[in-house]
Amino acid sequence: MHRGYSSRLTLVLVISATTLAWGFGGCSSTPKSSSTDKKVLSNSDEQIFLGDTIEKNYDPNVIMKRGEAFYEKEEFPEAIVEYQHFLDLHRSHLLASYAQFRMAESHLRIAKSIDRDPDPIYKAIGAFEKLRKDFPGSRYDAQALQRLDECHSWLAQTHLFVGQFYFRRESYLAAAHRFDQIMKDYSDKPVAPEALYYLALSYKEMGANDWASEKLMLLAEKYPTSEVAKDGKRLLAKLQRTPSASPAPVVAQSPDQAQAIPSAGNLLADNTTRSALALPSAGRSAAVETSSTASLSQRFVSCRLGAWC
């Protein structure tokens, strides 16, 4: 009797232990499932590019995440689309000014070098100016001003590069347009002395020695410590010793011919060295102050050289 009771008690204890083990086993499996879910959520960045749900198209956080992901991968055209999409839907959002800033930065990052199409720079200028206009006093205002300075410096160097290309090709009138444009828009920045010197050289080559002398005197007066100041003084002394002559006739050019921008291929193909032309050394272009881009496409007027200036 006692032995039978002990056997039954032992059986009950074994069953109870087995039940408890199954119970604890079930409980222990729950955290594993939670851990798996967390792992899926942690990889959600990859999911923002998949599907076409309403949430992914309209949720501001998802749109911003996509824009940032494209930006970090340096896929700037795609990033611009996402930032613009964000602004179209959520212009009053807390991150709207940031989206505008990143879009402007993306345009700036697309630009490659001064011998390429400057269109991304113009778009960056427009985007940074829109940031300052639509979000006055934002935390990105100071950075936008700095970037605008850099953009205009880029454009000034592009004008100088194109002007020097025309000069090497002996298209002095077209070159003079570029150098004169720099003087009108960036006269108080380091790029100006070199542009002014080249402008004087262009006038000299066209036979307008009085104009060349005028620009060289301006160079000595405004930029006496510049790298081209000595070259300018030597050229001015030479011109003053030369009897004044009437300007040589210049064949009139149409506005398209005078202002046409050469292709990047032509610019790079013409690689005549400055030393062969006895011109000052390169590397003088520097930062350029912010200036309106509207004046970069001014009209032509008749000038004393008998050509369209």
**pLDDT-based confidence at 190, cuts 50/70/90?**
confident
CATH number of the domain located at residue range(s) 52-153 in this protein: 1.25.40.10
Which of the four pLDDT bands, split at 50, 70 and 90, describes residue 10?
Answer: low
Name residue 296's amino acid.
L
Is the pLDDT reported for residue 243 higher than 50? yes
Cα Rg of the chain (Å, integer): 34
Cα(2)–Cα(203) distance, integer angstroms: 127
pTM: 0.63
Choose the weakest-confidence range: 37-46, 85-94, 108-117, 127-136.
37-46
What is the reported pLDDT for 176?
96
CATH assignment of 171-247+255-295? Answer: 1.25.40
205-211, Cβ contacts within 8 angstroms, sequence gap of 24 or more: 205/170, 205/172, 206/172, 206/173, 206/176, 206/247, 206/248, 206/250, 206/305, 207/245, 207/246, 207/247, 207/248, 208/247, 208/304, 208/305, 209/239, 209/242, 209/244, 209/245, 210/244
User: pLDDT by residue (tens digit) across 286-301?
Assistant: 333 333 333 333 433 3
CB 127 within 8 A of CB 107: yes
Q: Give residue 291's pLDDT.
A: 38
The pLDDT of residue 15 is 52
pLDDT score for 40: 39
pLDDT at 101 over 80: yes
The segment with the largest mean pLDDT, out of 72-76, 240-244, 247-251, is: 72-76
Is 138's pLDDT higher than 60? yes
pLDDT, one tens digit per residue, over 42-82 is: 444 555 555 556 666 789 999 999 999 999 999 999 999 99
C-alpha to C-alpha distance for 252 and 309, rounded to whole angstroms: 9
In the predicted model, what is the mean pLDDT of the chain?
75
Could you tell me which of 193, 208, 205 has the C-alpha nearest to residue 166? 205
**Which residues make beta-bridge pairs with 308?**
302
The domain ranges of the chain are 52-153, 171-247+255-295
- The arithmetic mean of pLDDT across residues 75-102, rounded, is 96
The strand pairing partners of 302, in sequence order, are 308
